[in-house]
């Protein structure tokens, strides 16, 4: 049985906005973390897939590193709609400049560690592929990293 549309939105707000879901267990509900922390955005050269990890098809250009984005609705993420619920970045996300190598990025993912085989919480295709080579600094304006949860 799938979760209701409203509950999907509530869960995404808890994950990405560190916002409580009221009235589950008690009136205070499922509580946010005492420290919101960050999620890490990764770039991928191909779809990491539903069974992939953040290091599946992960970018590997020289200088690449995942980018930390705080778990906060204000200034970091927008969670909107139901069926599907859409998650988008609200601020620019800029990766380190390429200092060597060449590849094309086509997907991004959101996880909770700065490196390694981290579970993917959400992912999506880039609105257009991005060719990265020496001197290119991958950067995405607000709203360019969008994924949906059904």
pLDDT tens figures, 42-59: 999 999 999 999 999 999
Domain count, the chain: 1
Domain membership of residue 120 as a residue range: 35-149
Position 62 pLDDT exceeds 60: yes
Does residue 77 lie in a domain region? yes
Does residue 129 lie in a domain region? yes
Q: What is the percent of the chain with per-residue pLDDT over 70, rounded to a whole number?
A: 99
Q: What is the pLDDT of residue 1?
A: 55
Does residue 103 lie in a domain region? yes
CB 127 within 8 A of CB 143: no
Does residue 45 lie in a domain region? yes
Does residue 7 lie in a domain region? no
Does residue 62 lie in a domain region? yes
Which residue in this structure is represented by tokens 């579970």?
119
Position 73 pLDDT exceeds 80: no
Does residue 65 lie in a domain region? yes
pLDDT (mean) for 103-127: 96
Does residue 59 lie in a domain region? yes
Position 4 pLDDT exceeds 90: no
* Average pLDDT along the chain: 92
pLDDT (mean) for 122-150: 94
CB 144 within 8 A of CB 40: no
């Amino acid at each position: 049985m799938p979760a209701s549309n409203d509950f999907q939105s509530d869960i995404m707000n808890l994950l990405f906005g560190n916002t409580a879901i009221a009235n589950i267990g008690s009136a205070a509900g499922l509580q946010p973390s005492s420290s919101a922390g960050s999620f890490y955005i990764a770039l991928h050269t191909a779809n990491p897939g539903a069974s992939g990890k953040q290091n599946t098809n992960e970018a590997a250009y020289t200088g690449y590193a995942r980018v930390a984005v705080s778990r906060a609705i204000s200034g970091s993420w927008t969670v909107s709609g139901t069926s599907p619920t859409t998650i988008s970045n609200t601020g620019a996300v800029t990766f380190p400049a390429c200092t060597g190598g060449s590849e094309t990025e086509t997907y991004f993912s959101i996880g909770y560690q700065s490196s390694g085989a981290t579970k993917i919480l959400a992912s999506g295709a880039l609105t257009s592929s991005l060719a990265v080579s020496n001197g290119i600094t991958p950067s995405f304006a607000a709203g360019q990293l969008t994924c949906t949860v059904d």
